[in-house]
Amino acid sequence: MSAREFRIAAIPADGVGREVVAAGREVLDAIAADGASFSFAWEEFPWGSDYYAEHGVMMAEDGLETLKDFDAIYFGAVGWPTVPDHVSLWGLRLKICQGFDQWANIRPVQFLPGVESPLRKAAETDLDWVVVRENSEGEYAGFGGHTFAAREDKGEIAVQSALFTEVGCERIIRYAFELARTRARKKVSSVTKSNAQQYGMVLWDQVFQRVAAEYPDVATESVLVDAMSARFVLQPESLSVVVASNLFADILSDLGSALAGSLGLAPSANLNPERRFPSMFEPVHGSAPDIAGRGVCNPIGAFGSAAMMLEHLGLHDESEGLRKAIEAATAQGVRTRDVGGSATTREVTEAVIANLPDRRG
């Protein structure tokens, strides 16, 4: 039987994104080597802040059309001091996420062996939860305006509107319940601020209650976002699946990653669950201009994202093998400086490859 070829679009973009995507590609190619029943056909795109400096746009005008036939997208990080953040984000990452209706952003919070957490409980409690982020509307819908710039004496105004639809709320909430059914602890925590945001988030609460009735086997709770922020720190053992709006889940997942030890550890998947379009896999961290190009950035988040991509492609054993290789490498003390070590990006990459299942002595 001939090997299956997966077409993967690589978009390193900016800063350390270039380094971690290169490292991730090396790990994935190692997994596909040695007679595997599949291979990766990579195509790399130069889009990002340098592309913007040359062309005035973050990606090619026909970029979505170019990407739509790939099996997946492997993304680095976007953002650079020479380009306003809202320009770089909306011009590349959000353009892909919204253009391909990647409405489910999955962000696991994982505590790796050998990585010290600022949480005292982490040393004595098995902590493992996942943040499910609505990724298509909410506070990132892009509705609003910035006008009256010609007014004198601080007369300019800005209006930013959050958009919540019943369809958008239901599909992400239902996704969270289906995910919870696959986990040892079957529980979904819904996060809103409906006491203050009495329209969109009340709709979210109503949809959550309706969908929850269809999953009597899954425990549920609704928590205000400020209380959930405290829960992440004080009672993280109570969490399993946390589902929230675009903004709230973004913030909470970053908090979770910091509690696990570093944003450099955090993977994510931007999924189009219906598979009408390719999904995109990226580490949560930013472009880190302060350390870019120095070979010291943490590639673990990119490796974890690669494992999520393997799972999405149906390569379940390979995905699990990569996760175990990551855990083995950190347990051996091969860690970059953001998690208390001194290893380079190259040394972490080599350690993970050495711990892949078919390379163990």
Per-residue pLDDT averaged across 327-344, rounded?
Answer: 97
Whole-angstrom Cα distance, residue 74 to residue 42?
10
Per-residue pLDDT averaged across 32-61, rounded?
Answer: 94
Per-residue pLDDT averaged across 328-335, rounded?
Answer: 97
Say whether 38 sits in a helix, a strand or coil.
Answer: strand
pLDDT tens per residue across span 212-263: 999 999 999 999 999 999 999 999 999 999 999 999 999 999 999 999 999 9
CA angle 113, 309, 48 (to 5 degrees): 100
Spatial contact of 28 and 311, defined as CB atoms under 8 Å apart: no
**φ, ψ (nearest 5 deg) of residue 313:** -80, 0
Greatest CA span in the chain, whole angstroms? 73
pLDDT at 361: 47
pLDDT at 124: 87
**Contacts (Cβ under 8 Å, ≥6 apart) of 200:** 138, 162, 163, 164
User: Given pLDDT bands bounded at 50, 70 and 90, which one contains residue 359?
Assistant: low
Averaged pLDDT of the chain: 95
Q: Is the pLDDT score of 153 beyond 90?
A: no
pLDDT at 2: 61
**φ, ψ (nearest 5 deg) of residue 40:** -115, 130
User: Given pLDDT bands bounded at 50, 70 and 90, which one contains residue 273?
Assistant: very high
Per-residue pLDDT averaged across 8-16, rounded?
Answer: 98
pLDDT at 151: 78
